[in-house]
Amino acid sequence: MGGMDGLTAIVTGGASGIGLATALHLSGLGARVAVLDLHPDDVPAPLLGIRCDVTDRGSVTSAVDDAAAALGGIDVLVNNAGVGAIGTVADNDDAEWARVFDVNVTGMARVSAAALGYLRSARHPAIVNVCSIAATAGLPQRALYSASKGAVLSLTKAMAADHIREGIRVNCVSPGTADTPWIGRLLAQAADPEAERAALNARQPTGRMVSADEVAQAIGYLASPAAGSTTGISLAVDGGMQELRLRK
């Protein structure tokens, strides 16, 4: 089949967008895959949907244990579940700051902690976190979201250092704007959705949004034994948005 025959993987937030594309891609590479999501019933076969709220430690622990029992262990964890936030530093109250960090940052730590015991006894253990271009480029109206993704980048490097001696690799991917249901919801709120879509396309030097499948391919590489010497990095999947400076 592919590069992940015989391996097992869990993908948080895998019922939609980047997470769903990733779960299907890992499955296509030969892995047995469980999706941990608030909406597990949306998940198509052969993926195994398990209800999980990454903000609730009890829910995370039982979902990770259930996934490991059903799959026969956990080789790969993809920490993808995340939520957005719009506005400047003045536009979100303390409760919203706490909510977004709880999902986007502490959620990754909770799921990783719950999976560590299984990863330690896996043959090819790897964690891939889903970060964002917002971690490294200043985007307008994204103060809270960017701060949370900056934390994901730092967390990725710290986890990579902590667990390298246990053989566990930890990396992240940093997508540019990816055409997922999330962006659909964002466009629906815009005064002029078509103009907003054109602006989001133009922000990538490629002139278009990133696809969920392109992010899934990058995650699949970092998660696979083929990336055995790669840890502590952020792989950009951003149409050149971070690194290129084009002339008009």
Minimum CB separation from ligand NAD for residue 235, in Å? 12
Minimum CB separation from ligand NAD for residue 15, in Å? 4
Compute the distance between CA of residue 50 and CA of residue 158 in angstroms, rounded to an integer: 28
Contacts of 134 (CB under 8 A, 6+ apart): 142, 145, 146, 149, 150
What sign has the CA pseudo-torsion 91, 157, 118, 80? positive
Minimum CB separation from ligand NAD for residue 106, in Å? 10
* Cβ distance to ligand NAD smaller for residue 17 or 239: 17
Compute the distance between CA of residue 159 and CA of residue 156 in angstroms, rounded to an integer: 5
Tell me, yes or no, if 145 is annotated catalytic.
yes
Contacts of 206 (CB under 8 A, 6+ apart): 239, 240
Residue of 131, 145, 153, 197 marked active site: 145
* Cβ distance to ligand NAD smaller for residue 124 or 132: 132
Minimum CB separation from ligand NAD for residue 46, in Å? 18
* Cβ distance to ligand NAD smaller for residue 112 or 124: 112
* Cβ distance to ligand NAD smaller for residue 124 or 215: 215
* Cβ distance to ligand NAD smaller for residue 6 or 181: 181
Compute the distance between CA of residue 184 and CA of residue 197 in angstroms, rounded to an integer: 9
Q: Which two tokens stand for residue 141?
A: 């109206």
Q: Which two tokens stand for residue 240?
A: 């050149």
Q: Which residues bind ligand NAD (CB under 6 A)?
A: 12-13, 15-19, 37-39, 52-55, 80-83, 103, 130, 132, 175, 177-178, 180-183
Minimum CB separation from ligand NAD for residue 172, in Å? 10
Q: Which residues are catalytic?
A: 145
